[in-house]
Structure 1
Amino acid sequence: MKKKLHIATLGLMMSLLILVLNVMLNSTEAQAKTQITATAAMENAPTIQLDKTYKLAAKDSSKASDADVLAWSSDRWNGCEFVKFTLDQKTQLILEAKDTSNSNCWLQIYDANGKTLTEQYCVGTRSEVYKLSQAITLNKGTYYLGLEPHDADTFALKVKTTVKCSESTMKLNKSESTTIDAIAEKNGQVVSNPKFTYKTSNKKIAKVSSKGKVVAVAPGTCKITVSYKGFSKNVTVIVLPGKISSISSVSNVSKSIKLKWKAQTGVSGHEVWMYDKDLKEYAKEKTVSKGFSTATISGLKKKTTYKFKVRAFVKVGSKKYYGDFSKPYTAKTKK
């Protein structure tokens, strides 16, 4: 009997514990879902944070429960509702908005006296602008953002940030590495300990770590994008070709020599240089397009010895970046 009573007591205690945990969990979820409600009167407008993206919805939208900010409803045509923000110095802001419901949303910035400072921006089907990014410079003070969402959208007011890198172009040999040196500036002030993210446009050319270490993989060019809170800077990485090796002559006839060398992937082309005995220096004889690793040098003299060098290059815009020349290769024409 006592054993059964003990088991029943344990079961009751477990049930109470589960009930308490559920109450705590529901309370936490309720706090997490606390929403900001915009107001029709400016003086009662709630404050929003800068550099934060908010989910926005009309109060009577089916997506209202998932929103961070509620504003406007379908019974209030031609009237926005307000949230406010404060600047402690002259600041360049980026107003961002995105339509997420194939509807419409209007946004406009006002000063403390209710004067409009921007045009009324619309994102959605009416304007056919579904993503907005608009710069505006404001002096120190309190401002109001008028919102009129007809369904669901997102918006943010971001302090314009400039990402700067010590080098805009990096040249590396295969397997070499370096680290990108970057800073972020807001309002002319350097941000303390910014957390950058890094992304390469081509992992086959160069890899980049979460700390900005770049490792050259193969000849070619790619971009490393350095980002901080939605703002970014591109660094061009040029992995230089390696030194050409294994040059040979495929065929030697009386007035031409056909050369062949070991191909390199990722290069934009090759140049063949020939030694000029009169000038006593090498001069470029032929440029070979990407994908080819042979070249026929014509217009030569019979029974004459010639010396050649070959180098590969990668091209960025109109500029060429070269690898090292091969060792001189000697070949002789026939009778």
Structure 2
Amino acid sequence: MKAAVYREHDKDPKKVVRIEDVEIPTLKPNEVLIKVEASAYNYNDLWGIWGEPIKIPLPHISGSDVAGTVVEVGEDVTKINVGDRVVSHPNLTCRVCYECTSGREYDCSSRLVWGFQTGPLWGGFAQYTHLPEVNVVKLPDNVSFNDAAAISMVGMTAWHMLVTRAKIEPGQTVLIMGGGSGMGIAGIQIAKLFNCDVIATAGNKEKMDKCIELGADHVVNHREEGWHKKVREITNKEGVDIIYEHIGKTVFPQEVGLLKMGGTLVSTGATTGYDSTIDLRYLFFRGINLLGATQGTKAGLEQVIGWVSKGKIKPVIDTILPFSNMVEGHIKMADSQLFGKIVTTPQKL
């Protein structure tokens, strides 16, 4: 089979990522073999190529978001059948520890992000891949492979942030940072499912306009000085109930100051840096909640796919690339000049 492989780290994906011939995986008894029809990009694919912030197994196949058709099942597989259309749940956990059995698989001490921390040669940028049966979700017939791959990681993570962690309630005011990213697009739509008043941020006018088209009620440019003052004006100086954060250092101090009494900031990333500061007076005088989140549960992914099937969450795809040109997706993602997800189609060379 063909797979996108890199055997060393470099800041320039073009220097190290190559389409190679590798063996089709041999299944363990609890695994399924998937013919990959669509794979979506995530920022962790860049981290893997760079070798930062953590080292990963080499040689490596990246890709954590896969949708395709099951073509073989292991002897212990009972719920998934050959021919099933599925999407990946990339949270590999032990499934037996206290955290896993209490519904907090995202806190498992053995957790690995499939396609990022796994290997060697185990990820979604390949014509075939394998996953444990418990790590795939069946797709309704009306959800395309491209849409499923595009929404799986960001949708599951966004659901976990807003529903599981921040415990979003109807009518709240929610600030979605980076509304033009895959994470932001999912966050806007989930917040609108709960009939919240959504303020989105984006880095240019084109993305700002698209956030409004997605359903955001208001939008500001987080690259402009004083952006947080505009948010406060929109709320009549009352502040916001929930801040959905994944940008990091450049905006974090201002975000904390925007929270209402008892408000919640939930963070899942720090693309502009992690060594931020906050004014601790906001923490104790306002009784705010600062929460972390990473990935989510299989049940959360199933919820998101269900809403996609009903047309209430709509995956947004910026670019679809043939596999022979898939490295261009890494370059485009690093430049951040996109609105929505990038998808590659491994069966189309």
Instruction: Specify the TM-score bucket, using the shorter chain as the normaliser.
Output: under 0.3
Length-normalised TM-score, structure 1:
0.19
Q: Where is the strand percentage greater, Structure 1 or Structure 2?
A: 1
Length-normalised TM-score, structure 2:
0.19
Q: Where is the helix percentage greater, Structure 1 or Structure 2?
A: 2
State which structure, 1 or 2, has the greater radius of gyration over its C-alpha atoms.
1
